[in-house]
Amino acid sequence: MINRSNDSIYLKGGLQVRTGLEQLIEGCILSEDVTSRSRDPIMKKDTILNQEMIGVLNAFLIKEAAVKPYLSSGEPFQPGYSIQSRQQSPQESFSDCTSDFRKNAELFHLAFLSWQSGAAVDLPKIREIVLPLAERYKEEPGELLKIPSAFSSQAYVAQHSLAVSMLSAFIANQLGFPQGEVNQIALAGALSDCGMAKMTPAVLQKKLALTDREFAEIKQHSIAGYKMIKEISTIKEGVKVGVLQHHERLDGSGYPLGVKGEQLHPYGKIVAAADTFMAMICPRPYRSPLSPFKVIEEMKQDSFGKFDLSTVDVISKMLARLLRGSHVKLSDGTIGEVIFTDPQHPVRPIIRTNGKEMVQLEKRLDLYIEEIL
């Protein structure tokens, strides 16, 4: 069903909002390419708008644009509604995690560009970008699932690295690591892909499947990253090993060295799980983000023996806590409320649909939770 109000179109189901250009605000996310007379888009889908970009659209005489029903900050988008202009409670006056993530990812991207130019890793600067943000996410685990909404089509490596850092720190905290080590694990996550700066730029920017030769090059980024930080005396050895081992697997099927079992450092095990989970739930140039509930099931079942189970269980339990009493959308589009969560099957609870039907996801393996509403 479509409602029209103030020249805006709201597509029920949360798909998109088509609105006049005068009602766009900073943080709007394009849900379609914006085109003019030429074939090439003026701005691409998933671009996060700022005032300068809105000015560009005006210059091209664009009359309207389709945007997502939420802002990059996670706030719902209401045309003509400025977040800054409303009366805020003391809790709301603080910048939310998603907005801070986006800003810090931009800073991290600048650091990555400097590495590509041959600059050394500036550890104090990385700590400044990463650690305060990791402290925020430690207190707000639900915000971890909003990280994908902060991704843009540019600077994927920086965004992914910061996402891995946030989840790694959360996992470490939940596993009882002391704060000093939580910080070190956050740094290991952030620096895990620093070696990508030494890869061929054309390979990094490629949107199609990599050739065997290109993939072989990419598999060397862990070694390249280790070499970039191995002589920095202020980086703990565990961080260096974690960077080297974040693509290794318990069964020896990982890379670059194929080490396994007890040869793997605890930091590497944590970053490995965080890296895989975030890579799957965040958008990529060649695919849409996947359901975190589906991803964690695959990590526990299809990848059994590859990841440290205690680490994967932290993510699973986090998702289960967020599900309790929540309204969710299933993979077939059904909307319902979670009424019971079985500890043995934390991401397959019993759902009461809006039509009052009971769905036991434990028995409906053809379905899974798409998102929390």
Residues 190 and 143 in one domain: yes
Question: Which of residues 194 and 39 earns the better pLDDT score?
Answer: 194
Q: What average pLDDT does the segment 247-252 reach? A: 93
Residue 133 lies in a domain: yes
Residue 88 lies in a domain: no
Query: Which residues partner with 359 through β-bridges?
Result: 351
Residue 273 lies in a domain: yes
Compute the 3-state secondary structure of the chain and give helix, strand, coil in percent, each to the nearest 5. Answer: 45, 15, 40
Residues 75 and 215 in one domain: no
pLDDT tens-digit map of 197-241: 998 888 887 777 788 898 889 999 999 999 999 999 889 999 999
Tokens 């943000």, located at residue? 133
pLDDT tens-digit map of 65-92: 889 888 887 777 766 443 333 333 333 3
Residue 54 lies in a domain: yes
Residues 10 and 125 in one domain: no
Q: What average pLDDT does the segment 271-277 reach? A: 96
User: How many helices (H) does the chain have, and how many strands (E)?
Assistant: 12, 9
| Mean pLDDT for the chain overall | 84
What's the pLDDT at 354? 85
Residues 126 and 237 in one domain: yes
pLDDT tens-digit map of 14-56: 467 888 888 888 888 998 888 865 566 778 888 888 877 787 7
pLDDT tens-digit map of 130-156: 999 999 888 788 889 889 988 887 788
Distance CA 207, CA 197 (A): 17
Domain boundary among 290, 310, 343: 290
DSSP string computed for 235-263: S-HHHHHHHHHTT--TTS--SSS---GGG
Residues 144 and 268 in one domain: yes
Domain extent, residue 240, equals 97-290
Residue 15 lies in a domain: yes
What's the pLDDT at 87? 37
Count up the domains in the chain and report the number. 3
pLDDT tens-digit map of 295-328: 998 888 866 789 999 999 999 989 988 888 888 8
Domain boundary among 29, 48, 80: 80
Residue 109 · residue 65 · CB < 8 Å: no
Q: What average pLDDT does the segment 85-111 reach? A: 68
Residues 137 and 250 in one domain: yes
Domain boundary among 244, 272, 290: 290
Query: Which residues partner with 66 through β-bridges?
Result: 18
Residues 137 and 192 in one domain: yes
The percentage of residues in the chain with a pLDDT greater than 70, rounded to a whole number, is: 88
Residues 129 and 255 in one domain: yes
Distance CA 113, CA 117 (A): 6
Among 44-48, 112-116, 173-177, the least confident range: 44-48
Taking the model in full, what pTM does it have? 0.72
Residue 205 lies in a domain: yes
- CATH (domain of 236): 1.10.3210.10
Residues 348 and 210 in one domain: no
Residues 33 and 102 in one domain: no
What's the pLDDT at 197? 92
Residue 227 lies in a domain: yes
Residues 224 and 329 in one domain: no
Tell me the pLDDT band of 269, cut-offs 50, 70 and 90: very high
Residues 168 and 34 in one domain: no
Tokens 């990419």, located at residue? 218
- CATH (domain of 48): 3.90.105.10
Residue 91 lies in a domain: no
Both tokens of 333, joined, read: 């589009």
Distance CA 277, CA 160 (A): 11
